[in-house]
Structures are given as structure tokens and as C-alpha cells.
Amino acid sequence: MANRNFASGGKIYSMHVKPALLDCNFVVDSANGNGLGLRSLKGPMIQNVYMHTSATPAAGSPNPAPGTIVIQLMDKFNRSFGGFNAIVSPASGSALKIDNSALTQGSAYIITSLDPAIPNSQWVALGLPAGVLPAVGASFVAASVGAGSNSSSARVMATAAAGSAICNIETVGDPNLSLNPDPSANQGFGGQIILQCRNYSGAVAAPADGSVISIAMYLSDSSIVIQGE
């Protein structure tokens, strides 16, 4: 938590009745044997997330076309107010040693493996901010082409040249029509939202494997409609 004296009146207000903010994140993995097209799903109130898979689709998966994301919620909701997303590009290329001239000064790198014999000070000399513990997934801007003693296992990688290959993620259709299903249908989940990923030319396209996608949904958990809605 930030160590700041925030203004006592610094609050966020909403005129919506019982708004709910749901979020999830996952790693795109189209060939994963779980048949989901992704792995490492995290997010409260998220029952299922499906993407295109080249493996045998998991039970219940519609195996959507590449670039399509199906999110199924545990509960139904009254309506959607909006949402937002973020994408983390995957690492790509060769794993580079940190103790020679393999790096490019000023370029960003991601730690992909550690060596317990390498002290934190060597990572700091390389560009990792002081106070940030070296860990797989931590990123830094290289302060030099390499630093410190020889290591047999400490490695870093740059991000993929094309990044995630995705420019934006859009909602398909009107989510309000699929968030509040008839419970007598016993479909096995609550509301559903369908999204599509689009590349820089505007075409629906699959994100690069290894991309991390984070999605937030601002929903209504109340049937009360106030003035202006």
C-alpha cells in the first residue's frame, strides 16, 4: 500500500445501485492440454474463460474462433456499465546471459531464470531498481550490455518483436442481453460476455501465446434503475 496521506475526502462515488467490479487475468496458451486455450486463470466470480484451442476442447468450451474470448460468470447480473482491459506482451527470442555483452543498453528485459549465486547487487548494476527483488517476471531497463560475474543460469529475454500482436479488445454485441439469463434454463453458469481481439489492421486475430490478458467488468447487481439510466 502506498505510504501517503491521502485526502480524507478522496472518495469515489457512484449513483449506481449496488455496482460490482469484476476482474480476471490469464495467460494465452492455445496448445495447452487443459483445452481452454489459456492457463493460470485468476479472478473472483469468474466461472470459466474460453479461447481457441488446438487441443481437445475442455467440457463446456465452445472452442471459439481464434481471437474470441468467452467469459462466463458465476452469477447473473442486471446490466453492464462498461469495462477495460490490459495486455502484457510475451517474452520472445533467445534467453540472454547477463554477464557478457549480449544485452542492449537502454532496452527493456524480463528476468526468465535466476542463479542463487548471483547477488542482488549484480542485478541492480544491470538496471533492476534497488529495492526490487530479482524474480522471474521482473522487468528492468538495461543500464549496460552486461554486468558482474559469470553465471551458468541467470537469463533475461526481450519482449516479442510484435508484442501481443493485438491492438485492442472489443465487446461483441450487447452484453446486457446475456448477463441476466433465465435461471430455469440451468445453463450451468450466470452471465456471459463475449469479446474479440483485433490486430493493428482491425482484423480479429489471436493474441500471441504467452500474452497475459487482464479484463475488468463494471456491472450492476441490482434491478433498480435510477434517473438517467
Tell me the pLDDT tens digit for each residue of 62-95. 999 999 999 999 999 999 999 999 999 999 888 9
Report residue 1's pLDDT band, with 50, 70 and 90 as the boundaries.
low
Q: Mean pLDDT, to the nearest integer, of 181-209?
A: 94
Beta sheet of 38-42, edge-to-edge order: 38-42, 19-28, 212-220, 79-88
Residues ≥6 apart with Cβ < 8 Å to 17: 220, 222, 224, 226
Partnered with residue 27 across adjacent β-strands are: 39, 212
Place 4 in a pLDDT band, splitting at 50, 70 and 90.
confident
**Average pLDDT, whole number, for the chain?**
93
The answer to whether the predicted template modeling score (pTM) of the entire model surpasses 0.95 is: no
- Residue 177: DSSP 8-state: G
